[in-house]
Chain A
Amino acid sequence: MNEVLLISIAVNFALAALVVFFSFKDEHKKNLLTNQQRQLSRTLYEVSILNQVSEKIEGARDYPSIAQTIALTIEQLMEVTTVSYAIRENDEILAKTYTDDNVTDNYLKQVDGLMRDSMEAMDSDIRLLHVKHEVTRSDIKTHSSRPIDTFAGSIFHIPLVFHNTYYGVITVTNKTPNKYVKADMEVLYKIVRQTERSIERLEEVVTSEKGKLDALVVSLPSGAILLSLDTNGYLALSTINHAACDFLGIPPTADATRVIASLGTSHDFVRLIKDVMRDKTSMMLPEVPIKDKFYKIFLNPVFGYDANTIIGVNVTLQDVTREKELDQLKQTFTSMIVHELRAPLVSIKGASMLLMGNSLPPEEEKKMLGTIKVSVDRMLNQVSDLLDSSKLEAGKFDISLSKGNINSVITDRVNILNYDAETRKVHLESKLDPSMPEFEFDPERMGQVVNNLISNALKFTKAGGTVTVKSCVENGFAAISVQDTGVGIPDDKKALLFSKYSQLESIAKSKGTGLGLYISKGIVEAHHGKIKLDSEVGKGTTVTVMIPLHQEKKEADQSSSASKVPEPITIPVHHLPGHPGNVVVN
């Protein structure tokens, strides 16, 4: 019986032990799950708070705003009597406390003192700064029916550090002692540190992007100026590139006033900038004279990150002096062509009327017919020049290659022009290399080139001067040069000399379309050759044509060579992309 009892007791003990064991195991499992649940909740809580903070801060980079956002987030997360921030901004401390009507001034004074102590412990210089402390009441519900005029029961400070620099503090107080447990505070410190890191990353991105943009702006051939509004609402110079400094003749250290003044007096730029900022529209000034040049100026509003706030004005300058010169040349060219075509027509009309009168003696009739022929030839030449230039532009300029002696082409032209040279009392001579081999070229077109070059040289050489035509072999090229002792060409005119509308003033006064050099260049390039110019004012000019002695391709290449003739100079038309509301002033 005893044995049975003992066994029964032992079994019961064993069962009880098992129950205890499993219940402990269950308890352990339950604790584990509870802990995991708590950990998960806490992580979700942190994530949600961080999301809230980052959404509120968005792209803001001013530290008082960030501190304010964090402070207000804390106020929503935990029960506080006051939540405050104090942050160093320039030479003062901006402080703000959120609380409600029950908190007395004594309590707030205590909070103010605590914040100062915290900041001064971090940076002793802070004690010298002026503190601007603002109190916003009723944002917080302290749930107290009586005035709170006691010592703060619970206090903690969260220092604000950006880029390894101490900026200020967030202070949380509660009238009740031991209100906050370590976990609560840890979460808040974590939030602030995450925020600090986010701001730092944002600033790194902004700095890096700004660096890229600055590099881009600096390298722009156009002048670029960025005028930004400072904190007082005044325009300050943020960026100016080298081109703008060169155009305006100012150093990069110039201030906004000097930059605006250097834009000249043709427009009231202060008013225009104000208009752009007020109307939030771009503006374009097509031709602004600054110093001895002309600029197209764009004024564009610069928007802040919210795409609505104007933070400044961007001024872009494009040098349009050359375009303006070309425009002028085009106008002169058109007038000149009309005049040139009209003059022989007047002669033809006069001669025809005299002939129609049947009252002229035969010698006079012959003279009139001669006048008509000369006028018609002149018109034909001019029309041919115009046709050639059109073909060059259209890429349809053909040459017909055949093997020949370039020296004989030169000699023919020199002989023809000798009469003109004698009339001008200019000595025309030729020094031709007798060893010049025969090679493939278009004799008619090359004759045209030689004719143009000699004619030009004669026009620019005063009586008593000399024009020398030379030929020689140079590195696989036939070099044909025409040298004069004429007036020479100024450097600023050289670039335009071979363009379609180029015509030096003295040529404009003489007969001709002025297309000679443009067509000559086209003919030479159709031969895969080069044309170069050396000139010095007062000493003379040498134009040298280099034609390869061996054309790489023959017939098949002739038409394609025409497409390689120089591109006509195009006048760029500038638009402001993405700014349909551009206003053209003038």
Chain B
Amino acid sequence: MPHLAQPYDYNALASSLLNKLLPILGRDAVIQTSYSIRELELTTASPNRTHRTNRTNEVDSRLRGNDSKNGNYISVKVVRGDSQVVFDQLVEEFRELSPFVVEKVMGELHEEQEGN
């Protein structure tokens, strides 16, 4: 797996990760897996305001309401602990589900970070 070197905005990285995984693994797989990490707070993003929530159905309904072709569906914020450690934990959770998919998505993230 390509390693992401410091310093990075792990909240942004986690958001990118989830939004890349969202169409591949589906809403429930992404949201339920993310919620298993307590240090994370999941929010949905819209152009004007951020809805902060920890309830799946609320995130889910907002996801449905958004246009899938415009921007991110989900924003993620690490609310406790070391953001890198929490990010790595999130990656491992998804790796448990599908290592191949996580490898591909992390590769894309790495390329994007290099590009930036």
Contacts and interface: CB of A to CB of B under 8 A. Distances in A.
B24 A182 contact: no
A114 B26 contact: yes
Contacts, number: 69
A161 B57 CA distance: 30
Given A177-B57, A186-B96, A159 B101 contact: yes
A122 B104 contact: yes
Interface string A102-120: 0000000000001001100
A158 B99 CA distance: 12
A162 to B, nearest CB: 10
B26 A182 contact: no
Given A164-B100, A180-B32, A157 B64 contact: no
A303 interface: no
Interface string A210-237: 0000000000000000000000000000
A151 B64 contact: yes
Interface in B93-116: 96-98, 100-101, 104
B25 A157 contact: yes
A388 to B, nearest CB: 79
Interface string B43-67: 0000000000000110011001000
Given A155-B26, A156-B29, A157-B24, A182 B36 contact: yes
Contacts of B23: 117-118, 121
A157 B60 CA distance: 16
A171 interface: yes
B57 A189 contact: no
Contacts of B28: 154-156, 178-180, 185
DSSP class of B's interface residues: helix, strand, loop or mixed?
helix
Interface in A119-167: 121-122, 151, 153-159, 161, 164, 166
A157 B26 contact: yes
A189 B60 contact: no
Contact of A121 (B24, B56, B64): B24
B98 A178 contact: no
A181 interface: yes
Contacts of A159: 24-25, 98, 100-101
A182 B100 CA distance: 19
Given A156-B25, A178-B60, A182-B32, 19 more contacts: A118-B25, A118-B26, A122-B24, A156-B28, A157-B26, A157-B29, A159-B25, A159-B100, A159-B101, A161-B98, A161-B100, A171-B26, A177-B56, A178-B57, A179-B28, A181-B32, A182-B36, A185-B32, A185-B97
Interface of A: 114, 117-118, 121-122, 151, 153-159, 161, 164, 166, 171-172, 177-182, 185-186, 189, 193
17 contacts: A118-B23, A118-B25, A122-B24, A122-B101, A156-B26, A158-B98, A159-B98, A164-B100, A171-B26, A177-B56, A178-B60, A179-B28, A182-B33, A182-B35, A185-B97, A186-B97, A189-B96
